[in-house]
A and B are shown apart, each in its own frame.
Chain A
């Protein structure tokens, strides 16, 4: 398996706060990696370092073997990286279709409007937004906005997709649908890193998992290894809610 992404000793500080400390891992093509950890662990910050929102103070990020540390976000998008945001970022006054077309137009494949519209239609079917084509993004509910984020990212036809809590705020049946969608995306050959607090779901879809706690990488392995790792359980026991979730009590 070829390595798509290499994170080597990445450290990120915000003033005195050490948000990431010496994070190191490799990600193979075609895998789903689950990224978990308590609130404030540094998960979103890691995404922000990978896609160029932040430049890490130390360490290197290699994408397809090339050093991309400190690249601009738009350059990462053009290289084939797409992401969703934990706090959804719809283009409110544009329609659902226009939002998704923007993903296709400016992502890796740099499509013209005509092709982008076709890709948007296809992606809308795929994520189940096909009845909302001409609706303004602002008028969608949270679950639909999460799908929109996902659709926009997919329309870019990325090599690597970063999903930041796409299940948060969804009801159990919506979670089920979204998990199926994620699996289908992986089956299309797109590599995924997925930040998630809904443990049962993320354990279920991930090939490989990484656990962050206070910016430290405390465990890495298969979902079963992670679920039985005493350090991980301890990290979550500091947060009884999450510990319960880890034990498989999602609802």
Chain B
């Protein structure tokens, strides 16, 4: 850390997440913790999606499938097999990554809109499949055995622990995002985003690079899903695979700035702030998703690079500081 300015792109996001993580303890407020939990969850998911969407240039409309699938698998092992929360988180991440690996082999050869469509199809197919699997409780889903909370010192303790694990996942997602962005692997992804054919001509093995980007973008969402269902105490197919949540993630990434480390974090903040306002407002509470759709449209039309991207374009020196 000779020159701390060169690491601002990592330091700022870390400060943001650490701030969020300590804020509820400082204010000693449960509702602050709930709010912070939602934002941290959004940060973790949006930062992960950014690896695929922002760095690699592949628009996934169904990224929530990894959250749902990983979450289901993790909760199953926690609840039915008596695994610890740590082992369950691990299996949630691994199974989401594995799913991405297999899916990637099949659909990452599709480009543009075809890929986006395929990701929606996969999310819906997975929801239908889980709906019919008896070991996962079918349409009713699974309810967490109350004994599980006891293992972690009772419900209150368990929920507080879930909060700090979520902060850890958000932090991990940012560090992964940053490391990818400043690595050789990341340069290959950016090249694919800019021009996949030219990238291959330069020697970038695009099929492999894309697959690994997809896997990396899926692992943390799988763990986040598991943690969320643990905190929620139950899971049902329609809660695990909500298509609109995928789209909300896209809005966050686009709003903050796709392809930058800081962008999705700011986007998650801004979006959750807006959402919090909308769902409590009398006028907007029923049309909250329409407003999100309109926001997405406005971003695409007027600031396609997102907030951080716009700043980078405006002020060239920022390009080195905010990767």
Contact = CB atoms under 8 A, between A and B. Distances in A.
B198 A106 contact: no
Nearest to B259: A93
Given A105-B187, A106-B188, A91 B198 contact: yes
Contacts of A91: 190-191, 194-195, 198-199
A94 B205 CA distance: 19
Contacts of A72: 200
Interface string B197-227: 1111111111000000000000000000000
A156 to B, nearest CB: 7
Contact of A74 (B195, B205, B319): B205
B183 A94 contact: no
A248 to B, nearest CB: 34
Contacts of A186: none
A101 interface: yes
Contact of A156 (B195, B199, B202): B202
B203 A77 contact: yes
Contact of A105 (B184, B197, B200, B205): B184
Interface in B250-281: 259
Interface string A98-135: 10011101111000110010000000000000000010
Interface residues of A, number: 31
A112 to B, nearest CB: 6
Contacts of A94: 190-191, 194
Given A93-B194, A94-B194, A101 B187 contact: yes
A74 B203 contact: yes
A145 B128 CA distance: 50
B203 A107 contact: yes
Contact of B203 (A85, A98, A106): A106
A83 interface: yes
Contacts of B204: 74, 102, 106
Contact of A152 (B200, B202, B320): B202
Interface of B: 182-184, 187-188, 190-191, 193-195, 197-206, 259, 316, 319-320
12 contacts: A53-B197, A53-B201, A72-B200, A74-B204, A91-B191, A94-B191, A95-B319, A106-B199, A107-B203, A108-B203, A113-B182, A134-B320
